[in-house]
Structure 1
């Protein structure tokens, strides 16, 4: 499985731990995030991840910023992206089961690194339920 990850200045520590965790499981990780806590513009790190997911170059994406709102808003501009903000494991599971999210957005200022690692595992291991949920997600992209 191949995963792209990106982060702004709120998330380097999270990113490093997540990459280490995923690589230990045998995943390939494309790192587009900053390694510094110096202030940066999060869209610069979101676009490469969202483009990889949108173009099916990777299986999933992971985005990290302070609240996860900015990265989710940016990623969701892409036609084939469904980026969900996850701050607890139950939300993460539902984001995959009901919304078939393909990018998890983690709020570094509101979760711990152990929580983030658990959410990443849940995200990658939870299947989309389909059924009535498929009809709903098919209506998300604009067709103009």
Structure 2
């Protein structure tokens, strides 16, 4: 079964704990990147970086991060090269983000969605597979080029 990383700050801590238990029950191998205890003074960048690095290095297959709105963890995670994170609030994008864009880190707002939707989004995200078709791969390579400060050319290739 897939190895999944999970992380949350104080605003997503309760949802992370609930989701982690459900993922384990469903047979996923889950790595908890924090917070390990509830701390109302923690900061989402400190929590997301270890998870984002694990996703980028392929220590885990995919990651799920939770903060209050989901915006903070999304912004911070996308600063790590190799991470394609998005704030998701409905199942179509949870699935399509993987299939078309090879999204590898799902960001959720623990204060704005409930536990049932968290579970539905997580399962849609984890069960989806990247399509890998020519147009999706061409677009993905352009995104990857942006991470390395490379300029995509009109033909889809990159210049150093």
TM-score when normalising by structure 1: 0.94
Deviation at 1:33, TM superposition (A): 2.1
- 1:54, 1:106 → 2: CA distance? 19
- 1:15 is matched with 16
- 2:138, 2:95 → 1: CA distance? 19
Structure 2 counterpart SS, 1:36? coil
- 2:41, 2:92 → 1: CA distance? 31
**Larger relative contact order (CA 8 Å, sep ≥ 6):** 1
Distance 1:98 1:38, change over 3 A: same
- 1:86, 1:3 → 2: CA distance? 17
| Structure 1 runs, 4 residues or longer, greater than 3 Å off | none
**1:1-144 alignment, distance < 5 Å:** 1-34=2-35, 35-36=37-38, 38-131=40-133, 132-141=135-144, 142-144=147-149
Structure 2 counterpart SS, 1:3? strand
Give CA-to-partner distance per residue, 1:8-43, whole Å, 9 cap, x none: 111111111111111112222111222315131101
**Ranges in structure 1 where 5+ consecutive residues have no aligned partner:** none
Q: Is the 8 A contact 1:72 1:85 kept in 2?
A: yes
- 1:91, 1:37 → 2: CA distance? 31
Aligned pairs, how many?
144
TM-score when normalising by structure 2: 0.85
- 1:65, 1:137 → 2: CA distance? 26
Deviation at 1:77, TM superposition (A): 1.2
Calculate the aligned-residue CA RMSD, in Å: 1.2
